Each structure stands twice: as structure tokens, then as C-alpha cells.
Chains A and B, each alone.
Chain A
Amino acid sequence: MALPRATTLLTASALSGGAVMAIELSAVRLLAPWFGTSQSVWSNVIGVVMLGLSLGYLLGGRASRSSEPSRALIFLLGAGAVFTACLPFAAGPVAELFLPDQLRLDSAAEVFRWGSLATSVCLFLPASILLGGVGPLVAELISREGDLRAGEAGGRMLFASTVGSLVGVFSTSHWAIPSIGIRATVLTAASILLVASLLVRLATPGGGRKETVTALLLLVGALGAMVLPRSMPQLPEGFVLLEERESPYQYTRLVEDQRTEPYMRSLQVNEGTDSYQSVWQPELGLLDGDYYYNDFVLPAWWQRKKGTWRCLTIGMGAGTAKRVMAGAMPEGLILDYTGIELDPVVVEMAEKWCDLASDDATHLLSGLDGRAALGLIEGRMDHILVDAYANQVEIPPHLATVEFFDSIEALLEPAGWCQVNVSGFSTSDPMVAAIASTVSAAFEAPVLILRVPGARNCSVFARRDSRPPIPTAENWIDPTFPESIAALLGGREVRGQWDWVEVSHPKGVVLTDDLAPVELLQQRSLQEARHSLLGASRNVDA
């Protein structure tokens, strides 16, 4: 049986283009459980795939000079399919070669940068080189088949390939990854490449039956592999996996720490480090340990209000803020909570495992971007919490700008509170200083930075037309506060635990919608954490 050659070749080119895009988009998500999905991981994956494709173009161009380019094309598509099918199973073992047993957040930037690059090179370079060779071979075959000029043949091939890529982009991002998961998406891409190889084989006159059978067997193998488990990072001893899901945004898992009672649950996304996005304990109220969530109750105590406390959280996660506040509000103050969370999968998992539920005093806005959703908020808030993170440790730039905090201020009651959780190693951390200076510029008011003891976080506080309390003030710890709240404030008044940013004296870069170099600040934050004190100790040696 011989298929119409030109149409078959263009179809193979389109299928290959779609498969390359599926591999590229899945690649970052494949690495996410080990290296996250930061900008540098994206750059490394895209860079390696582009490098592979460019080398593949050379390879394909050279192979097109042979007397039987169709054989080379069948081989490249088939071999590309085999390499692609291995990706979900090889990702874990390869990534673990480039990760230490324990990884601290302050060392993470360099490890993630180099580790993700090395892993990408090992995993994605071979398949990219092979699939890069497809285009020139298809162009050559079309040119020979229809006696076309090189430009016309190349144009047709590029048209088919780009249309295939377009379909690959949309179907991978919007359907495949959220619906069938990463492993099945990659194996589907491998199967598509095998089908392309088979089509070219069938359209090539005089070919043997052996290659056809081999391709069919590989296809069955790739489809069968979809039932095998994808390699994932191991949980530490004493931790139990409750659920793991892929969403359009991230890989998410809920784990329970069963080493000590009460069991704590934590929501982790794309985690390659020891960080978490939300925690849950059976009891409502302050968490037992050094958690920044406990700081979320402070404005309600400082305000001395009676009645209803309207609180909006941007970046609700699994609803930790709500549970902490609900169990630690001052007497006579009732929490009315609104939470915005971008990832609906996170909310679904929280509803299942973390007792998150909508009711008259709990309003959940799921699947909405924090900034876009501000327009949906009715009335004024007493307290707006910003705890939005993406890619493990990155604050989304559009949720860190003067314009964003202007919108926040407009939603607050007079003397209402804006509180931002910022991951940072000290009050002078570049990211913390930038956020505090930005909030101060937006509110045109002084801002208090409080370090969270024993954690890598700082709480940034600002008030609409008012000032936060100063830790050195006599009434910093009100004698009427219960012991738990006094303990939360105790020790925060000493040097290094707090700072104050005045509008006239910003301590960091003020971020705007036009210029918000969040990624750069985050990198500097991690680098400075590693080196901040080394200078002092070196002076001692000198």
C-alpha cells in the first residue's frame, strides 16, 4: 500500500511539529517536581530544545543529500519517538543526579539553574536533535517528489510544521496536561511521532515489512506505558502522600507529616526544596511553630474593633490564613473571609483535605487572578492579605507593583490594613525592601516590616491613612492581649527583627507595572542570604 507521498510527508511534518511543542511544554512540567518552574528553568528547557533543533537542522540537511532520504526520515521520527517515550521515566533518575539529598532554599538558585540545565541537556537534547532533522528531510522529499524549487518545498514544509506546532501548543496547555497529565501527554507525543514514522514508511515504495512491524510494536509499547507510574521525588520518611494532581498551572501535592501528633498537612507545588504553600492542622487558630501565617491575626488585635472583620486574601492556597484567623480572633470580632486563588485544583484539594468550604462568612473565588479579581470585590475590607506566590518562591510581578497596591488601598476601610507575606532572609533583603518601599509609595504612608522568627519570611504592614505600630513603643505588647498573642509579638522589638520604611526614604526599588524585576530581586535575595555575613567573618581572619 502506498499513500500519496506529498500529503503524507506534510502530515508527518505537522505531526512532528505538534509533538515537539508538546515535548517542550511538558518538559518544564516534567522537571517541576525537582527544579520548580522558574524563569531560569523555562529558559534552560527552551534553550536546550532550540539548540537541539538547530543541530538537528544541520543533521537533516546533511542526510537529505543521500539517495534515500525517506529512510533517514523514518529513522529520525522513530528514534525521536523512542527517546520521547523514555522521558517520563528517565526524568526522575536524571534529575536526582543533579540534586543534593537535602537542599536549602539559600542554595537553591544555583542548583536549580545548573541542575535543570544539565537535566534538560541529558533528557531533551537527543530527541530535539532527531526531530530537528525532520524538516529538511521533508522539504527535500517534497522537492524531489513534485519537482519543486527549494523555497517552495521549504515553505510548504514550514507551513505544515507550524500549523502542527500551533495545534500542539493549544492542545497540550489547554487540554492534555490538565486532562490526562504529563506522563500521558509525553507518551501521546511519542505515539504521534511513531504514527508519523509509520505513515512515511507506508508512503515509501519498496520498503520492508520489518520496519512497519517494529514501529507498530513501539506504538503499542508507548500506549501501554501510559499505565506505568511516572517517576516522582520521594517523600521524606514519616510523610504520607494524600493526593497529587496536575493543574494548568502546576504540579500539586498534599502530604501529611505523621512523625508527630497532631498530624500536619502541607500543600506543596512544584517543590524541589523544603518549602510549602499552605499548611493545615486539625485545630483552628495559631499554628504550633514558626509559621508566618500566625502574623495574619495581628491587625485584628491591633485594631481593637468590634463586630465584623472583613478580610480578603489574595493567594488563598488551601485556606491556612482563614483557619488561623478564625481560631484566634479577639473576642467580639467575627471573621468574614474572602479568599482568591488562581488554581482551582488547589481549592478542590483544600476542600477535600483541609476543611475549606464556602459558607455565609467564607467566600471562595477560585480560578481567578488576584489582580483581575479585585474588581469583583464589593464593599470595603478591614484587612487585605497578599500571599501570592508562583513557581515556589516568586511573587507574581503584577501583584507586586505600585499600581496593584493602589488598587488594594482603594478597597480598604479607613485605617484598614494591607499585609504582605514576603519570602526573605532579613528585613534588608532586596525583595522585602522592594515590596515594603512599593507598598509605602502606594499608600503614601510608613510601612512596618516584621521578621518571622525561625522562618524565611517577613510580614509587611501598611494602613490606609494611618500608621502601623512601632515595635519600640511602650504599648507594643498590650497587657490585655492573651498570652499567645503576646508571645507572637515578644522578641520582635529587637534589632534585626523589624524595620520601618518611610515614603521619603525607600529602602529598595519601587516596583511598577512598567518595571518590576521580581526575578532579579529574588535571585539577589537568595545570593545575599548565602553571603551576607561572610564578609564580617572574613574581616576577623584578616
Chain B
Amino acid sequence: MMCQMEVSRRILLALGLVLALATPTVLGQDAAASTQALEQVEVHLAKGAFGRAMASASRIEPEAARARQETLILYNARSYDAALDRALVAIDGGQGDELLLLNAVRASIWILDTEAAVHCQGLLEERLEVMTNGGAANLAWWTDQIVVLSDWVDGMVEQDAATDAVVGRARATTFGVFGVAVSVLFAVGFVSSRRS
């Protein structure tokens, strides 16, 4: 099944290349439209017109760039769960770049979704390694961001662990005290029946 999927993906990729070579004009128009849409997104974002920014973003190609922009818009509109949802769909489709991952981690911190935060933070750190090896620009800025986010995510993990520990302690105490009470009562009953 996996082999068939891999073959299909290669065929699609090859078809895509053939199409790209065969229709440069159409693709060029698409690229221009996409660039224009991207510019419009920036303008709308600057004005705080998030609905219009989303409408413009829907015309951005390819999907990875669209996902990045939509996540960014939703994050800036403070619709954090929608931003994370959008980012996770993109990540699920193998589309996540560093900017999308950054906003995904930030959004998951806002809505206190520890599991999503840990997952996206892990992917972001992997991405940083790739960027480091590739000698990407702004490496210091990205490293700083990841350190800051990492502190937040670690705090969330610790808080969740503390909560789980407290619930575990409460369960153990409940059953423990109940068990001791019943045992003591039976012991008292047993001793007094022996005496009588």
C-alpha cells in the first residue's frame, strides 16, 4: 500500500513538472495572482481587516504559503484555536514551514493545549536544525524565539504533570482512607466478637 502511494506521489510530481513546463504562462499568471494576493493580505493585516485578509489569502498558491498566511491571520485575529486547527491541517499534509510552526506553537500556548504545543515545538526544533545546517538567515532570531517558546511549553508540561499527580494522589488517598476505615471496623468487630 505504501509503495503504491509512493509511486502515485512520484507520478503526480512528474505530472506536475510536465504541466509546469508545458504551461509556463498559466503558472506565471498564477504566481502573479498569488503575489498580488499576498500583498493584499499584508495591507489588510496592517489595517486589522482580518476578514478581507482571509479572503485574499484564499487566492495564495501553493498550499504551504496559503496555510502559513491563513494561520498568521487567524493568530493575529486572536482566533487561536482556529489558527492551531489550520496549522495542524497543514502539518498533517506535510506543509509546515518554520513560520507556520512558530504560530502553531504560539496559538497552542494561548489556548493551553499542551500536547499540540509539545508536538509543534518538536517540529519547530527539527526545522531549526535543518535551518542551521543550511546556514539560513536570521538564525539567531529563530533560536531566541525557540528558547522563549520552549520555556512556555515546558511550564505547561510541568503544570499538567502537577495536576495529574494531584489527581493521582487524591484517588490513592480516597481509596486508602476508605480501605483503612473498613479494615479498622472489621478488626474492631472481630476483636470484640472474640472477647464476647
Contacts and interface: CB of A to CB of B under 8 A. Distances in A.
Interface of A: 51-52, 55, 58-59, 62-63, 65-66, 97-104, 106-107, 110-111, 114-115, 117-119, 121-122, 125-126, 129, 425-426, 451, 453-454, 471-472, 476, 487, 490-497, 532-534, 536-537, 539-541
Contacts of A101: 162
Given A125-B181, A491-B50, A533-B113, A66 B78 contact: no
Given A115-B170, A491-B77, A540-B88, A102 B116 contact: no
B152 interface: no
Q: Which 8 A-B pairs have the closest CB atoms?
A: A496-B82, A491-B77, A453-B78, A493-B51, A118-B170, A114-B170, A496-B79, A118-B173
Contact of B84 (A55, A490, A533): A533
B74 A540 contact: no
B16 interface: no
Contact of B51 (A58, A111, A114, A472): A472
B196 A111 contact: no
Contacts of A111: 163, 166-167, 170
Contacts of B182: 55
Contact of A454 (B78, B84, B108): B78
27 contacts: A55-B185, A59-B188, A62-B189, A97-B173, A98-B169, A104-B112, A104-B159, A107-B160, A110-B167, A111-B163, A118-B171, A119-B170, A121-B177, A125-B181, A129-B181, A490-B48, A491-B50, A493-B51, A493-B77, A495-B86, A496-B74, A496-B79, A533-B84, A533-B108, A534-B115, A537-B115, A540-B88
A129 B181 CA distance: 9
Name B's interface SS.
helix
B15 interface: no
B41 interface: no
Contact of B171 (A55, A58, A106, A114): A114
Given A472-B51, A490-B48, A497-B77, A97 B178 contact: no
Nearest to A472: B51
Interface residues of B, number: 52
B78 A102 contact: no
A100 B81 contact: no
B85 A536 contact: yes
B67 interface: no
Contacts of B185: 55, 58-59, 129
A451 B110 CA distance: 14
A54 B142 CA distance: 64
A491 B188 contact: no
A55 B192 CA distance: 16
B119 A541 contact: yes
A103 B174 contact: no
B77 A533 contact: no
Given A59-B188, A121-B173, A534-B115, A103 B163 contact: yes
Given A62-B188, A125-B177, A490-B48, A537 B116 contact: yes
Contact of A117 (B78, B111, B115, B174): B174
B81 A532 contact: yes
Interface string B49-79: 1110010000000000000000001101111
Contacts of B146: none
Contacts of A107: 160, 163
B144 interface: no
Contacts of A451: 79
A465 to B, nearest CB: 28
